[in-house]
Amino acid sequence: MTPEALRQQLEYYRDLGIKQIYRHMPIPNISNAIELPSLVPAGDTLDLIRADIGDCTRCRLCKTRNKIVFGDGNPNARLAFVGEGPGADEDEQGLPFVGRAGQLLTQMIEGTSAKEGIPLKRADVYICNVVKCRPPENRTPEPDEMEICGQFLFRQLSAIKPKAICALGSTAAKAILGGKDGVTKLRGKWHKWNDIPLMVTYHPSYLLRPYNQNAKRESWEDLKKVLHFVYD
């Protein structure tokens, strides 16, 4: 079997929710650990990833979505933001972060960089979500939905190779880092995903709620750290 055929088969298993496979016949004196080819195809691009997603029916979210929200921004961005999943406005327009939370995100990116003397516009970064289809009633995506769609997020991040990633909220942080800790524990510190520095901060929707002055101040601090790390 060629590495490409094996990759496709593993991808198929993963779409089915099978997370672990075992080598069938142990060979004496040889470790059972086999080195698997990367699930990110060589020469991967955002266009190829979008084509692979197609008119996706891999999970139940396809039944209620209007448009697939793949991602938006500079394919060569030095900074990528990852949210949770599309809301109503995003589902309607097919673009990430275009509703109220999106307007706040734009303001945070452009306002903070202007104050810090960094000439950066929203179009210079890349913005996407863990799941590409809107969960009904804006519920949190289910683990299997994130598992299935996560392969495309990881391919997007691998294709862009940003200098840093900013995970917006607990769902994005858990999906990318794989742990159980939420945003209050993870925020403000550098983590790593595949050798790429990753900062976790509050989701803009959370910042839109009243009485979150402290979280707002903290997220501005987190963003300043990210902007200076990437653009200084």
Among 129, 156, 170, 201, binds ligand URA (CB under 6 A): 129
CB-wise, 73 or 102, nearer to ligand URA? 102
Residues 64, 134: Cα–Cα separation, whole Å: 8
Q: Give the per-residue contact string, 167-206, with ligand URA (x = CB under 6 A; - = no).
A: --------------------------------------x-
Examine residue 86 and tell whether it contacts ligand URA (CB under 6 A). Answer: yes
CB-wise, 101 or 157, nearer to ligand URA? 101
Query: 10 Å Cβ neighbour count for 8?
Result: 14
Alpha helices in 75-118 (DSSP H): 88-93, 100-115
Shortest Å, Cβ 18 to ligand URA: 27
Among 73, 83, 135, 141, binds ligand URA (CB under 6 A): 83
Residue 103 CA to its chain's centroid (Å): 19
- Tell me the pairing of strands 190-193 and 196-201: antiparallel
Contacts of 98-103 spanning 24+ positions with Cβ under 8 A: 100/205, 100/208, 101/203, 101/204, 101/205, 101/208, 102/204
CB-wise, 39 or 53, nearer to ligand URA? 53
Chain residues binding ligand URA by CB under 6 A are 83-87, 90, 96-97, 99, 101-102, 129, 205
